Amino acid sequence: MTGDEFENVFDDLLNGDEELKAFCQVLQEQVPQAFIQLHGDNGVVLPEVAAQPCSAEGVAELLAKTRAAGGRPVAAQGQAGEWCYGLRVDKISAVLLFSLPGRSDNLLVEPHGRQLLQGVIDYALLQQEQQLLKIENEQIFRQIAVLKQKHTALIEDNFRQYRLIQDKEKEYARTLESEIARQTAELRNTNARLEEASRLQSEFLANMSHELRTPMNAIIGFSDLLLELKLDKESREYAQTIKNAGMNLLVLINDILDLAKIEAGRIELEHAPFDLRETVDNVASLFRIPAREKKLSFMVEIAPQLPALLYGDNNRLRQILINLVGNAMKFTAAGEVAIVIGLQSLASEQAQVVFSVRDSGIGIPPERQQAIFDKFTQADGSTTRKYGGTGLGLAICHQLVQLMGGSIAVKSVEGEGSSFFFTLPLKVARPDAVVAPRPEPEGRAEGNMQAEAASVRSALRVLLVEDNPVNQRLASIIIKKQGCELAVAGDGIEALAQLEKHVFDLVLMDVQMPNMDGLEATRRIRKIEASSGARAQYAGLRNRTKPLSIIGLTAHARKEDEQSCYGAGMNGFLTKPIIRARLEAVLAEEAEACNLGRPQGPAA
Quick check: 419 binds ligand ADP (CB under 6 A)?
no
Alpha-carbon distance of 306 to 326, in angstroms, equals 24
DSSP code at position 428: B
360 versus 423: smaller Cβ distance to ligand ADP: 360
Euclidean distance between CA atoms 544 and 164, whole angstroms? 83
Q: Does 23 bind ligand ADP (CB under 6 A)?
A: no
Q: Which residues contact 224 (CB under 8 A, 6 or more apart)?
A: 243, 450, 580
Q: Which of the ranges 41-49, 101-109, 326-334, 477-485 carries the binding residues for ligand ADP, by CB under 6 A?
A: 326-334
**Nearest in space to 73 (alpha carbons), one of 113, 16, 44, 39:** 113
Give the count of residues interacting with ligand ADP (CB under 6 A): 21
Q: Could you say which of 87, 256, 362, 591 contacts ligand ADP (CB under 6 A)?
A: 362
CB of 410 to ligand ADP, least distance (A): 8
Q: What is the side-by-side strand order in the sheet with 572-575? A: 485-489, 461-465, 506-510, 549-554, 572-575
Residue (394 or 521) nearer to ligand ADP, CB: 394
Q: Say whether residue 443 binds ligand ADP (CB under 6 A).
A: no
Which of 35, 222, 331, 504 contacts ligand ADP by CB under 6 A?
331
Nearer to ligand ADP, 393 or 599 (CB): 393
Q: Taking the complex as a whole, how short is the minimal distance between the CB of residue 268 and ligand ADP, in angstroms?
A: 23
- Beta pairing partners, 88: 95
**Single residue of 359, 467, 505, 529 touching ligand ADP by CB under 6 A:** 359
Contacts with ligand ADP, 272-311, as mask; x by CB under 6 A? ----------------------------------------
| Binder among 383, 399, 498, 575 for ligand ADP (CB under 6 A) | 383
Nearer to ligand ADP, 301 or 414 (CB): 414
86, 391, 447, 599: residue in contact with ligand ADP (rule CB under 6 A): 391
> According to the binding rule CB under 6 A, does residue 254 interact with ligand ADP?
no
Report which residue type is found at 512.
Answer: Q
Contact residue for ligand ADP among 201, 240, 390, 476 (CB under 6 A):
390
Secondary structure percentages of the chain, helix, strand, coil, to 5: 55, 20, 30
Residue 461, helix vs strand vs coil = strand
399 near ligand ADP, rule: CB under 6 A: no
45 vs 317 by CB, closer to ligand ADP: 317
Determine, following the binding rule CB under 6 A, whether residue 262 of this chain makes contact with ligand ADP: no
Find out whether the peptide bond into 577 is cis, omega within 30 degrees of 0.
yes
Residue 579 DSSP code = P
Say whether residue 27 binds ligand ADP (CB under 6 A). Answer: no
- Does 393 bind ligand ADP (CB under 6 A)? Our answer is yes
Phi/psi-derived region of residue 492, left when phi > 0, alpha when psi is between -120 and 50, beta in every other case: alpha
Of 66, 58, 22, which is closest to residue 40 (Cα–Cα)?
A: 66
* Separation of alpha carbons 415 and 434, rounded Å: 45
Confirm if 44 and 13 have CB atoms less than 8 A apart: yes
User: Three-state SS across 40-96?
Assistant: ECCCCECCCCCCCCCCHHHHHHHHHHHHHHCCCCEEEECCCCCEEEEEEEHHHCEEE
Give the interface segment with ligand ADP, choosing from 189-197, 308-316, 382-390, 441-449 (CB under 6 A).
382-390
Nearer to ligand ADP, 261 or 558 (CB): 261
At its nearest, how many Å lie between ligand ADP and the CB of residue 486?
39
For binding to ligand ADP (CB under 6 A), which residues are involved? Answer: 323, 327-328, 331, 359, 361-364, 372, 378-379, 383, 389-395, 418
